[in-house]
Each structure stands twice: as C-alpha cells, then as structure tokens.
C-alpha cells in the first residue's frame, strides 16, 4: 500500500517486486490492476504527480501546467505544426480525455491479419471479453439526457435531419453532472479515470506506487530486463530528487505513452529496426457554428454525440466537443475590439469536430534535450478527408439553423454563411492552411509477426529481449477510426493475463 512521491534523500530508493509497470494510464492502469488481482506484487512507476480530483486546477492554464505533458506545447515536425496532447499525471491521459469508450471494431482485427500477420484467431474474442469486464468495472453508460447540454442536442438533431448515423456517446463516467470540464480533469470525481479506480485498487491489494518518477532507463543484462531506474522530479520546480531502482523478479511492462515508451527503449540501448516507426494518428479539425439561441458550451458532457457514418468511406468520425473559453478564444481570429466582440458571442457558439482515419505514417525520434519528437505530415488523400470532414460539419450546422460557421482555414473568410459552402469545398489542401490537432496517437513500438518491421509480438513481448513487454497505444499497428482508450485497456489486460499464465 506504499506510495512514494517526490523524494530528495541522497540515498537511492530500491524496491523489488514481481512486475514493474511503467505508466498509469489506460494501458498501465489496466495491466497493473490485472496483475494485482492475480496476486502478484506490482510497482507502478509514473512520471507525473498524483492529484486527487478535488485538487485538479480550476483553469485550463492550470491543467496544462499540472496535468499535461510539456504544458500541452508539444507539436509535430513536418509541413505543419500540429499539437500533440498527452498527460503527465497519475492516471495518464484517462484524466484529461473525454472518457469515450468504444469497443474495438471487428474489421481492425482483419486488418491486422492482412497488414502485420496477426496469427492468433482468439485475439478478437479475448479483447471483446475483456471489454465486457472493463465496461462493468468503469460504469460505462451513455451520457444521461439531463447532462447532454444544447450543443450535443443540436448535433443529434442535425444528424437526424441529414439521415446519417448518430448516437449518444458511451463513457466511463458515473453520474455525469455535465460540467464540460473533462479536458481539465473531472473535479467532481465522476470520471472513472485510472487514478480514481484501478490505481487505488492496486494499492489496496498491496501494490507500490511511485509518482513524480520518470524512468530514465531499463536495467538489463545479457538480453534480460531486470527492472527500471530513474530520478524523482519535483512537479513544480522540475528539480531532481532521489534516484530510484525498481527491480522486477518476472517482467517489466512499459506503458508510458506513444511518445515516451519508444524513448525509454532507446535510452536503454535496446535495438530494433522498427523502434519509433509506424507512428499514426487521427488528425482532427474543428468547426464553430454560430446560433441565434444560446448554446452554452460550459454546460453539457464534453463530448456527447458521435457519428461513425463516414468511418469507412471516406474515413471520418464526427463528434461534438464542448470547450472552455480559453481554448475557444484561440480559435477566434482577430485582435482588439474585433476579438472582444467575437469572444462576447461565446454563449452562442457550438464546436463540432471531424477526426480523420488517416493513412499517413510518421515516426518518433529523440529530439532536443532527448525529449521525444514526432515527425508527421498528412498526405494529400488525408487532407481531402480532412476537408470533407469540415464540409460535413458545415452541413450539420446549417441543417439546424446555424447563422454561420467558422472553419478556421487560412485563405477563407472568418465566417461562412449557408450560401458560401462552395468556398469550403474548394479550400486548399495545404496542411499549413488548416487548424488541426493530432488526437489518438498510435505506434512507435508496434506489434507484428515480423521482428524486422515490429518491435514486439502479439503478446506485447519485445523481440530480442526477455522480461520486457509493452502495453499501451504504441503497440497498435494501425489507426482504429474510433477512440482507442477501450482497445488500449483490453489489450493491456490481455497482455498481462497471458504473461501471468506463461510465468506459472
């Protein structure tokens, strides 16, 4: 039940357990609780600080400071600079995401058979079985009607008007109040993030948790990984503290995120021709709609409506997104009195997004100061998909009476009316012209049948080593076309369960 936060003692903290889990998010949390339930001794090593929901910051500025990796300022290198948002806190990105839970589509397993040689016919069934368990554990349910809010209601009506598939999003939230603060951490504690659910259970079952403890490298000898080591870092000052070594009697599971898991393997000198390759994402663009009636994005589930109508062709997911004024203001171009007037319209704005099931592939490499750097550029086909997503959002908005839309595309007017949709249809395909963000990151330590093109096998075991596994989104070898949290959790549970079976 021990929790080690920042330590400044000159002595090195040394711990020995059966399994070390690096990371505490969707993958790490799922793996750790599975091992703990199996009666194994577990240590969870998390780079970020532990904050209980009542201690989450009130402001978005505070959330970037306390909960996001690198203050939320990481961007891709390529033709355009796109933000890459991940968490650095106990609970990982489950703390700052919208809690969306989507089961892994069956066509994904077929894709993995064709593209990466998946040779385990039981994977789909086992993943879905684990997802049944996870949904029960995390109180997964559709957003309650009373917590939808006007933006979500308008989007559901718009999709109905246009005759496209739509649904109320299922989320791991117990009794949502509709505060629209998912991106800042749910201060009410209703979101069932791993720091609220699984990590406390690991502690109750005798597990050890280290926070403010970024892993520097893996301890390994003659191809066998024996543990991890690093140094505590103060969450406010960044000052280095005590060194720590956490030894594993059986295995280390790395689940430090798409960007940081490859870095840990790199710093440890582990060689793989596929390390850092196969980076993929769901690039997203958002469109604002302006209404005569108040919409009030400050009330309602952060994301309550989604449509997978276009998931396969052209490859899009459409969703709502209630965002705080601080972020919306960044989308409202202009300065001085012009910007002030646009900000005054905040209550009458709705924001809906299109996420692209992109085929573009990038990579992750050590960057300045050894920090992870993502290299990624959307190809022309994906830019066509992105533009089509913006067009579909515009049609949805206009079908429910929006006065104008603001697509955020350089070279187009700030606002477009219903009779100006042709301008959006002819918008440039240059990534630099669009306001976009990379959501749902994949790859970097991809799984596959061939060690020349994959870092680990389908059990998460890293090729060429003993005692080392990866269990987060970095192993996923394709985009999913849906939110990945549920898939990550189920894959991590599968990996940790099979690991225990093999070590009996």
Give per-residue pLDDT as tens, 8-18.
999 999 999 99
Give the alpha-carbon dihedral of 66, 68, 72, 76, to 10 degrees.
150
Contacts of 325 by beta carbon, 8 Å cutoff, 6+ apart: 298, 343, 346
Q: What are phi and psi of 206, to 5 degrees?
A: 95, 5
Q: How much is the pLDDT for 436?
A: 93
Whether 369 has a pLDDT exceeding 90, the answer reads no
3-class SS of residue 487: helix
Q: Identify the DSSP state of 189.
A: S
Please, how many CA atoms are within 13 Å of residue 209, restricted to the half-sphere of its CB? 30
Distance (Å, whole) CA 295 – CA 299: 9
Residue 253's beta-bridge partner residues? 21, 469
The answer to whether 493 touches 138, Cβ cutoff 8 Å, is no
Hey, how many other C-beta atoms are within 10 angstroms of the C-beta on 14? Answer: 12
Query: Could you tell me which of 69, 20, 120 has the C-alpha nearest to residue 441?
Result: 69
What is the torsional sign of CA 317, 322, 324, 325? Answer: positive
For each of the domains in the chain, give its residue range(s) and CATH number, in order of start. 1-50+89-95+102-137+201-273+445-504 (3.50.50.60), 51-85+143-186+277-442 (3.30.560.10)
Percent of residues, the chain, with pLDDT higher than 90: 92
Task: Please say whether the beta carbons of 379 and 324 come within 8 A.
Answer: no
SS (H, E, C) 297-321: CCCCCCCCEEECCCCCCCCEEEEEC
Tens digits of per-residue pLDDT, 268-302?
Answer: 999 899 999 999 999 999 999 999 999 999 999 99
Average pLDDT for 188-217? 98
Strand partners, 167: 306
Provide CB contacts within 8 A for 214, sequence distance 6+. Answer: 47, 230, 231, 233
Could you give the 3-state DSSP secondary structure of residue 67? coil
Q: Which helix (H) or strand (E) holds 20?
A: strand 13-22
- CA 305 to CA 500: how far, in whole Å? 39
pLDDT digits (tens, 9 = 90+) for 331-345: 888 889 999 999 999
Cα–Cα distances in Å, from 107 out to 132, 259, 288, 479? 19, 26, 32, 12
Both tokens of 404, joined, read 């104008």
60 by DSSP, 3-state: which?
Answer: helix
Report the 3 state secondary structure along 238-260.
CCEEEEEEEEEEEEEEECCCCCH
- Cβ(488)–Cβ(473) below 8 Å: yes
Q: What is the pLDDT of residues 51-90, one digit of tens each?
A: 999 999 988 899 999 999 998 889 999 999 999 999 999 9
Give the confidence band of 504 by pLDDT, cuts at 50, 70, 90: low
What residue spans of 138-267 are helical by DSSP H? Answer: 149-162, 198-204, 260-267
Per residue, the 3-state secondary structure of 98-126, as one string, reads CCECCCCCHHHHHHHHHHHCCCCCCHHHH
What's the whole-number average pLDDT of the chain? 96
DSSP code at position 289: E
pLDDT at res. 41: 98
- pLDDT tens-digit readout, 395-446: 999 999 999 999 999 999 999 999 999 999 999 999 999 999 998 999 999 9
Euclidean distance between CA atoms 408 and 414, whole angstroms: 7
Residues ≥6 apart with Cβ < 8 Å to 184 = 56, 57, 58, 59, 60, 62, 63, 67, 96, 324
What 3-state class would DSSP assign to 441?
Answer: strand
Q: 229-283, pLDDT tens digit by residue?
A: 999 999 999 999 999 999 999 999 999 999 999 999 999 999 899 999 999 999 9
What pLDDT is stored for residue 500 in this prediction?
Answer: 96
CB 297 within 8 A of CB 319: no
Backbone angles phi, psi at 104, to 5 degrees: -65, 120
For residues 484 and 94, give the distance between their C-alpha atoms in angstroms, rounded to a whole number: 11
């Amino acid at each position: 039940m021990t929790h080690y936060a920042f330590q400044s003692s000159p002595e090195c903290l040394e711990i020995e357990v059966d399994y070390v889990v690096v990371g505490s998010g969707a993958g790490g949390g799922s793996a750790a609780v599975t091992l703990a339930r199996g009666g194994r001794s577990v240590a969870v090593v998390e780079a970020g600080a532990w904050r209980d929901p009542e201690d989450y910051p009130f402001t978005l500025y505070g959330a970037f400071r306390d909960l996001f990796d690198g203050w939320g300022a990481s961007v891709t290198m390529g033709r355009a600079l796109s933000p890459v948002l991940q968490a650095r806190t106990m609970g990982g990105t489950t703390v700052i995401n919208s809690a969306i839970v989507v089961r892994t589509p069956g066509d994904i397993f077929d894709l993995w058979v064709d593209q990466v040689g998946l040779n385990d016919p039981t994977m789909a069934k086992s993943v879905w079985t684990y997802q049944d368990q996870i949904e029960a554990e995390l109180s997964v349910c559709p957003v309650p009607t009373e917590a939808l809010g006007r933006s979500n209601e308008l989007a559901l009506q718009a999709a109905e008007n246009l005759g496209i598939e739509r649904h109320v999003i299922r989320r791991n939230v117990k009794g949502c109040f509709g505060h629209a603060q998912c991106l800042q951490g749910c201060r009410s504690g209703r979101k069932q993030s791993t720091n609220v659910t699984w990590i406390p259970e690991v502690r109750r079952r005798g597990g050890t948790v280290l926070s403010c403890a970024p892993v520097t490298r893996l301890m390994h000898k003659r191809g066998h990984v024996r543990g991890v080591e690093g140094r505590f870092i103060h969450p406010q000052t960044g000052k280095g503290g005590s060194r720590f070594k956490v030894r594993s009697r059986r295995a280390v599971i790395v689940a430090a995120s798409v960007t940081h898991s490859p870095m840990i393997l790199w710093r440890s000198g582990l060689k793989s021709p596929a390390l850092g390759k196969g980076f993929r994402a769901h690039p997203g663009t958002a469109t604002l709609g302006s209404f005569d009636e108040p919409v009030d994005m400050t009330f309602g589930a952060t994301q309550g409506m989604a449509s997978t109508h276009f998931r396969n062709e052209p490859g899009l997911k459409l969703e709502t997104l209630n965002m705080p004024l601080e972020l919306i203001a960044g989308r409202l171009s202009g300065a001085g009195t012009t910007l002030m007037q646009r900000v005054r319209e905040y209550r009458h704005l709705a924001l809906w997004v299109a996420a692209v099931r992109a085929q573009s592939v990038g990579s992750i490499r050590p960057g300045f100061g050894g920090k992870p750097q993502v290299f990624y550029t959307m190809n022309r086909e994906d830019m066509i998909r992105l533009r089509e997503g913006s067009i579909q959002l515009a049609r949805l908005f206009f079908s429910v009476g929006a006065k104008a839309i603001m697509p955020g595309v350089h070279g187009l007017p700030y606002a477009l009316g219903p009779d100006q949709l042709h301008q959006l249809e002819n918008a440039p395909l240059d990534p630099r012209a669009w306001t976009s963000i990379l959501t749902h990151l994949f790859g970097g330590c991809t799984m596959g049948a061939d060690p020349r093109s994959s870092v680990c096998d389908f059990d998460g075991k890293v090729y060429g080593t003993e005692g080392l596994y990866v269990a987060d989104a970095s192993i996923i070898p394709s985009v999913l076309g849906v939110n990945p949290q549920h898939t990550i959790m189920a894959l991590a549970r599968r990996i940790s369960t099979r690991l225990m079976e093999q070590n009996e």
